[in-house]
Structure 1
Amino acid sequence: MYSHAFHKQFDQPFDTGERRFAQAYLLYASAGVFHLEEAQRSWLLAPHRAALIAPGHGVRVWTSGPATSASVLFASGLGPAPGNCTVFPVTPLLREMVHHAARWDSEAAAQDPDAAVFFPALAQVARQAAASPEPLWFPRCATPELQRAVSYTLAHHAEALAFADVAAASGAAPRTLNRRFAEEMGIGWVQFLQRVRVVRAAEQLAAGRETVACIAYANGFASASRFAQAFREVTGKSPAEYRRSSARAGAQRV
């Protein structure tokens, strides 16, 4: 199988369901916001973020609105992601190379010897970028009680949630549910709720023009300062820095 590229524009929300690729797969969110799920984690792919996915690893990709992807499937031997699935910011060099690769669909790549030279270099640049992963993910769960708790938290994350209400929705006693979070997700419910709020806020920072304060309140934070603190704890950046980095990436896109 040859390395090749394929770019797609989605005018409406879509959901792939779980898919597996026989080749290492680079998914680049060039516009819009993608959501990527695997067995253990769920990621946000804001504009100018990418995922490098190992061959045979099951993933689900979906959007809640229009989006554009630029993707590459690498020939065997060019190397998978550092892990089964890694999400990371797209460097300027990687962005330019991914867009350059668009000239080689599967048919063109098989006929052009330049593609055989270009794609190994692109794979190396992608692996280097993936060495600095993006922390905008949250864990997924296995048991039914925790799944119900997580679903309830996701649906009501912007509200003044009480853990007792989440436990009631899950059908488990608060002590049991607290243990489920620690055992299955490695974090407590309060930490999970904060991460969910940060991930949802990051999507709005990248895709919209609302003020940081509006986004903070819309996602359940009591103040812009508390939001900024939580956002930095998860991402290592302030909300303004994250928005600027997304805007710069967009302005530089070919």
Structure 2
Amino acid sequence: MHPFLEKVKRDSDSFFVHHTKIEEQLPMHSHNKHQMSYVEGGVAFLNTRNKSYFFPARHFIWIPAGREHNVISRTSVKFVRNIFFPKWVIPKDHKLQERGGIFPVTDLLMEMIYYTEKWRGDVTKKDKTQLEFLLALKNIVLDAAENPLPIVLPTTENETLRPILKYIHQHIDQPLYLDKIAEEFGQSSRTLSRLFQGNMETSFLQYVKLSRTIKSMEMLLQTDLSITEIAYSCGYNSLSAFSYAFQQIVHRSPKEFRKQTELKNKTS
């Protein structure tokens, strides 16, 4: 077992605080605590066995205890802040006991995360002041969990689909049609459509739409390209089509998403 995971697991009743400038490069793993992670700078993904969660600036990831996962960043990050919650602090009937996701970081939650930046390792019931603070932070997390970011990209171990998914991501700036891709990989359109529904519980069209949206979110955060340039780089043939699709999934326009993120980063 990785030494870091041994430290996290050694006391199942304690909180565990871990802030680092270097990401823990871990394979798929699980532990006996809930994990909240916040990444400063960069773009990262939370991967589980069957889903990939994109999380942008000013959002945190929540990973339920026992859930196999790993976190991969697409770009270099400034800091990774992790707080591990013992199972007993989350109400037994709360959705965070079983459900992971990406959630917004409010100004208050941001300040509370930063307040813990000098803490290291276990926080137990003997550490009364720190424990009370983390229990208060937990309540803020429970409130934030009411507004998840609706960006979840299904993944699969299916050997037929994996190269097709890779092809989609490599050609995201081009027109992507079910019949053309089916022909490219020696499948019928009907068979490929069934493969998506049966293995990923989504349609080919919805997968492409989500992939384009996630790529555009990365570019809005990581580049200075205009929104029109990003639209074409993500395979849309007009700004209006891109804006409509983005708004449907993110519930904000591309301009609002970029502006809100920039303003929040300046105040962080």
Aligned to 2:162: 147
Is the alpha carbon distance of 1:15 and 1:190 closer, same or farther for their aligned partners in structure 2, counting shifts above 3 Å? farther
Most deviating of 36-45 and 163-172: 163-172
User: Equivalent of 2:99, from 84, 89, 95?
Assistant: 84
The verdict on how the C-alpha distance between 1:216 and 1:10 changes in structure 2, with shifts beyond 3 A counting, is farther
- 1:42-57 alignment to 2 at 5 Å? 42-57=52-67
State the identity %.
23
Say which is worse superposed, 33-42 or 167-176, in terms of deviation.
167-176
Are the counterparts in 1 of residues 87 and 97 from structure 2 also a CA contact under 8 Å?
Answer: no
Q: Would you say the 8 A contact 1:104–1:115 is kept in 2?
A: no
How many angstroms apart in 1 are the aligned matches of 2:140 and 2:89? 11
Residue type at the aligned position of 1:53: I
Instruction: Sort the Cα spacing of 1:234 and 1:15 in 2 relative to 1 into closer, same or farther, 3 A.
Output: farther
Give the C-alpha shift of residue 197 in structure 1: 0.5
In structure 1, C-alpha distance between the alignment counterparts of 2:136 and 2:186, rounded to whole Å:
52
Residue 130 of structure 1 is aligned with which of 127, 142, 145? Answer: 145
How many positions carry a matched residue from both structures? 250
CA deviations 1:21-58 (Å, max 9, x no partner) are: 22110011222111111122111111111111111111
Structure 1 unpaired stretches of 5+? none
Cross-structure match for 2:188 = 173
Q: Letter of the aligned partner of 1:103 in structure 2?
A: K
Amino acid at match of 1:71: N
Counterpart-to-counterpart distance in 2, 1:152 and 1:134: 26
Is the aligned partner of 1:39 residue 2:49?
yes
Corresponding residue of 2:3: none
Q: 8 Å contact 1:31–1:69 — kept in the other structure?
A: no
Match of 2:15 in 1: 3
- Aligned CA RMSD, in angstroms, stands at 2.0
Residue 252 of structure 2 corresponds to 237
Query: When the two structures are superposed, what TM-score results if normalisation uses the length of structure 1?
Result: 0.90
Q: 1:82 to 1:88 in 2, by over 3 A?
A: farther
Q: Is the 8 A contact 1:148 1:169 kept in 2?
A: no
Using structure 2 for the length normalisation, give the TM-score: 0.86
Gaps of 5+ in 2: 1-10
SS of residue matched to 1:65: coil
Mapping for residues 138-217 of structure 1, pairs under 5 Å = 138-217=153-232
Q: Classify 1:199/1:82 alpha carbon distance in 2 versus 1 (closer, same or farther; 3 Å).
A: farther
Read off the aligned partner of 2:105 and give its amino acid letter.
Answer: V
Q: Partner of 2:6 in structure 1?
A: none
CA distance, structure 2, for counterparts of residue 182 and residue 191 of structure 1: 10
Paired with 1:71 and 1:159, the residues of 2 have a C-alpha distance of: 38
